[in-house]
Structure 1
Amino acid sequence: MSTLFIADLHLSEQHPKITETFFSFLDSHTTNIDALYILGDLFEVWIGDDEHTPLMDLVADKLSQYSKQHHIPIYYIHGNRDFMIGKKYANQSSMQLLPEHYVVTLYGQKVLLMHGDTLCLADKNYQKMRKVIHNPILQTIFNLLPLHFRKKIGWKIRTASQSKKVHKKNNIMGVTQDEVERLLLFHRCHTLIHGHTHQVAEHQFKISGESFKRYDVGDWFHNYSYLEVTEQSCQLHISKVD
């Protein structure tokens, strides 16, 4: 039996091959699977559960079918692109929403799960923006705006974010090690699994002589990656997008 972790697919109508690869991934992982965890940014942008596009409905139908037919629970942690996904879409997709920091016991070991954007403290501009857009009052006001207006705002934010990302260095885009260690010690976990940075890798380090691990599950663009956890091992898999 195994548990699967993916993140940062950034599904959109502009990249149908990624959606096809995702569906093929689901079709090929239907047996001996305890659960599927999606650690954020399933979609490139999310305006609200009241928006309905063919892609959104197609993905929801596929996930729901995958979960119900194969009795595989799907868990979701919001990303920085789709933090507005609500209970309505989660129910449509047969996903269970989790808090931004979540501790799960996997085969006897406590593991900390998160999207990963709160680990990148060197990206000070993003952290400032995050505090604003995650304000519950502002989110309520945003949801009251007409859908077409919200779509314009969402894509403007997305375009600005993409433009700035090109000029950011890896040390800014990457995680802050002190924050990684702080959260692991706070939650009393020796393993952290996350996404967001698109830097797929396994990291091993020590804190006061004790061994810890951090897994970045990577993004789905030129390659796709996922983490497979069993009772015996944690293994990152990387393949080309079809």
Structure 2
Amino acid sequence: MRITFIGGGNMAGAIIAGLATLGRSDLSIHVVDRNPEKCERMKAEYGITYSNLLCEADVASDIVVLAIKPQQLKALATQLSPWIQQQLIVSVAAGIRTDSLATWLGNYNRIVRVMPNTPSQVLQGMSGLFATDSVSSDEKNVVDTLFAAVGKTVWVNSEEGIDKITAISGSGPAYVFYMVEALASAARELGFDADMADVLAAQTFKGAIALLDASGEAPATLRANVTSKKGTTEQGILSLTEDNLAAIVTKAARRAEARAIELGNELAAAE
């Protein structure tokens, strides 16, 4: 199976690194990117082939992954249109809906749209996927394998679900980083120096997530386990409850979803 990545940025690099861990000898990866140094590094590390200028031969593949900026996708799709025959198109361009991409490709709609997130760079990603009706179950399984190589995957039955996933796992790492920042700020307020505050906050989050992953318990159960009656944690949790942390996070997710929908409309209007 031959896969062509158009764009060799962080997300493409993460997927290629993840695929390398599978050890599949039947997998051939080709990258199209303008940066020769970057391509040479990937060639040395993962054995890819590459080109710096896109031509028809580059997309003579089973799967073509579009991993460029959303604003560049219309021009790229228009260029690809006469070269696309039976390839499965996989887009990781944020905000670009499948109907827009299909139009730009000359009404070609064998498309899977993916919303990955930045932890994919360390093989701990969360990717949401949506496939058009023209994509077979076998093809969906192949794409699932690609993104399972960099983390976990979930499929949605309607494209609106991608906007919701964007609001949760797409934007979610930033929420977590912001909460780590807030805990570190609290540590500084309690008198720790900046370096120690950062270590305390980051390791607390890292350890808590590792425990959640290893235990198989629900977050609410683990929270209850550490929240003794009349103890210190109880007071902290009471404060967060009084300030309605759950409502704050939900509001953030809803605003992110609304912006995802708005961006999709703006990019579609660019047709």
Structure (1 or 2) with the greater strand fraction? 1
* Structure with greater contact order relative to length (CA < 8 Å, sep ≥ 6): 1
Please report the TM-score for the alignment, with normalisation by the length of structure 1.
Answer: 0.35
For the pair shown, which has the larger CA radius of gyration, 1 or 2?
A: 2
Structure (1 or 2) with the greater helix fraction? 2
